[in-house]
Structure 1
Amino acid sequence: MEFRQLQAFCTVANTLSFTRAANILGYAQSSITTQIQQLEQELNAKLFERLGKSIVLTSEGECFLMYAKQILHLSMAAKEAVTGSATPKGSITIGAPESFCVHRLPLLLQEYRKRYPEVKIALKTGTCSDFAYWLRTHTIDIAFFLQQESHHPELITHTLFRDPMVIAAGADHPLIQKGTITPSDLHGETLILSENGCSYRVVLESILAATGAYPASILEFSSVSAMKQCAISGLGITLLPMIAVSTEITSSQLVNLNWVGPDFNIYAQVGYHKDKWLSPALSAFFNLAIEIFSHKTKTLA
């Protein structure tokens, strides 16, 4: 088993394309195919399944990917430990919710790139449950969570700031006339929510269930922009971070329904897996996130 085979395997697994992997690594496609075949022969397992013109990881491939990434990470750690270089370089992969990517992350990335221009950054959006899994499987190096403050035994986390949430609806929604709303006011209403696994959706649904309030229907989206547009169009009521809807509320496209129910207690946290080797690049990013958001909390919130 050679490092170049592991690198080829991880690149194909990330791109799900032999052609793109070959372009990234600077090899001929036939060379990538040969390296994967040699790896499969040594492991006596099929790592990829061809479905028409597409490829997917087999269950054996998914299992092996976690170990292959760890081996490559440890190899990088060993090289940097021996050379003694503390200059951040290499690459880091960040997980973050869409709203965080749009409204919070650019400030941090701009400052990080200014300080450490040699580091390449990749970004994956998803839900908090996605991030916990991706950190465990080394798919990402670090993640930002929007959730109730928690301390997962597998993760090293730091709370950055409280993120206010808003229950909002289009300008013509009947509930605007109430002035304030409680969980019971959402009984029988159409809710526009983010996909399953989103922490603040889980919090809202648990609050409603505890008070016996159940929506008539739920429109589920992975896009914050789609959620806002549907609410503006009068299709239902949405729950989003205040910063994600502040522009629409200021322009009166959306109205804050003034929730007086239980507090959502949503906080922004940054974290990485407890067994993760902190490269200079990753350590610098973690520390800068704390520096930036600790100083900017009042402005951001």
Structure 2
Amino acid sequence: MDIKAFKTFRVIVETGSFQAAADKLNYAQSTVTFQMQQLERDLAIQLFEKVGRKMVLTQAGKSILPAIDSVLGTVTAMKNYGKPTDALSGELRIAIPDTLLTYRMQPILKRFHNQTPGVQLSLQMANCFTIPKKVSSGTVDLGIHYDVGGYAKNLVVQRLGEFPLVLVASPLLDTQALNLQTPHQRLRVSLLTDDRESIYQKKFAAAIAERDIVFPHFLEIGSVEAVKQSVMSNLGIAYLPKFVVQSEVDAGQLQIIPTNFANETLTAVYIQRQNKWRSQILDQFVQILVDAFTA
């Protein structure tokens, strides 16, 4: 069997199509198709099936993916065997939500790059509820996110730390008209979020629903930084991890609105698949990650 075909198979899974994989690998699409046909013959299974205009993994393809990923990981580990950290080569794929990537990961990424300049980092921003699926399926090597529970048996989950959540508004907002400690309210201010499916937004939605508090407008803006700028412009309020807004609060550009559910927190975790073969690249990144979060 050709290792190149294994690599192509994984890239198809990552990118979602034969054409996208061909573009990423700088192959002709016919080359990708030929490699997959050959791999299916070698394995005696059908890896993909056509659904509409898309090629999707069969159940056999899904089942074989962890084994192929293990083979590729083993090949990388053998290539790196005995090498010092600064001589390691390969790829590390990480899925992470916007808040952690933008406001917590920059020093970690810089330190890892300085220590392992030959390693290619692939970072995917994703929702915390989808990241475990990516790690479990082998689409990414590591997930860093907020704990959502319900993990597959093939995942190892490790705690990184606790982070408080806060409700923030512009200093221009009259807080007398925004008392979330009183139930049964119909408020006039808009509620802003970067992702209505984020775990912190779901926590806030549950808290206000329990207290029968209703906002007239709910705006999903798409990025945490855009949400912060919108709140500072007094377009509405937002419920976010405190570390995301701490500098603006300290500078007087945002104010924290008291609530009677102010003790809500998020637990940051990292998750990886249980693997017989340990990746030196992954271990190096995890060590830097843990050091930074526990410092």
CA distance in 1, matches of 2:229, 2:25: 41
Separation in 2, partners of 1:187, 1:147: 31
Match of 2:158 in 1: 158
- The CA distance in 1 between the partners of 2:29 and 2:274, in whole Å, is 37
The residue identity in structure 2 corresponding to 1:58 is: V
Residues 88-115 of structure 1, C-alpha deviations (whole Å, 9 max, x = no match): 4321111111111111101111111112
Q: Percent identity?
A: 22
- When normalised by structure 2's length, the TM-score is 0.80
Conserved 8 A contact 1:180-1:260: no
Which range is displaced more, 276-285 or 71-80? 71-80
Whether contact under 8 Å (2:7, 2:72) holds in the other structure is no
Which amino acid letter does the alignment assign opposite residue 67 of structure 2?
Q
Residue 131 (structure 1) aligns with:
131
The structure-2 alpha-carbon separation of the partners of 1:45 and 1:83, relative to structure 1 and needing over 3 Å to count, comes to closer
- Give the drift of 1:143: 1.5
- Counterpart of 1:298 in structure 2 is none
CA contact (8 A) 2:13 2:139 kept: no
Number of aligned residues: 288
Indicate the residue corresponding to 2:246 in structure 1. Answer: 246
Q: Does residue 231 of the first structure (1) align with residue 228 of the second (2)?
A: no
Give the TM-score normalised by structure 1. Answer: 0.79
Which residue in the other structure is 1:114 paired with?
114
Q: Cα distance, 1:46 vs. partner?
A: 4.4
Letter in 1 for 2:91: S
Q: Give CA-to-partner distance per residue, 1:226-246, whole Å, 9 cap, x none.
A: 322332343322111222223
CA 1:291–1:185 in 2, change beyond 3 Å: closer, same or farther? farther
Q: Residue 5 of structure 1 aligns with which residue? A: 5
More helix by share: 1
User: Which runs of 5 or more structure 2 residues have no equivalent in the other structure?
Assistant: none
Q: Partners of 1:23 and 1:178 in 2: how far apart? A: 54
Q: Is the 8 A contact 2:184 2:211 kept in 1?
A: no
Preserved contact between residue 77 and residue 280 of structure 2 (Cα < 8 Å) = no
- Displacement of 1:121 in angstroms is 0.8
Give, as a single letter, the amino acid of the residue that structure 2 aligns with 1:170: S
Whether 1:58 aligns to 2:51 is no
8 Å contact kept, 1:157–1:270: yes
- The CA deviation at 1:81 is 5.7
Alpha-carbon distance between aligned partners in 2 of 1:79 and 1:181, rounded to the nearest angstrom? 54
CA contact (8 A) 2:183 2:213 kept: yes
Distance in 2 (alpha carbons) for counterparts of 1:251 and 1:76: 46
Change (3 A) 1:206 1:83: closer
Give how far 1:116 is off.
1.8
Counterpart of 1:146 in structure 2 is 146
Superposition RMSD in Å:
3.3
- Corresponding position of 1:184: 183
Going from structure 1 to structure 2, the CA distance change for 1:186 and 1:163 (only over 3 Å counts) comes to: farther
Q: Structure 1 segments of 4 or more deviating over 6 A?
A: none
Matched-pair contact (CA < 8 Å) for 1:168–1:257: yes
Q: Distance in 2 between matches of 1:204 and 1:20?
A: 38
Does residue 72 of structure 1 match 2:64? Answer: no
Distance of 1:141 and 1:266 partners within structure 2 = 23
User: Secondary structure of the residue that 1:259 maps to in structure 2?
Assistant: coil
Per the alignment, residue 210 of structure 1 pairs with: 210
For 2:74, give the aligned amino acid.
A
Q: Residue deviations 1:142-170, cap 9 Å, x none?
A: 1112247x684633223222222220123
Distance 1:212 1:123, change over 3 A: same
Q: Partners of 1:46 and 1:82 in 2: how far apart?
A: 30
Match for 1:128: what amino acid?
Answer: C
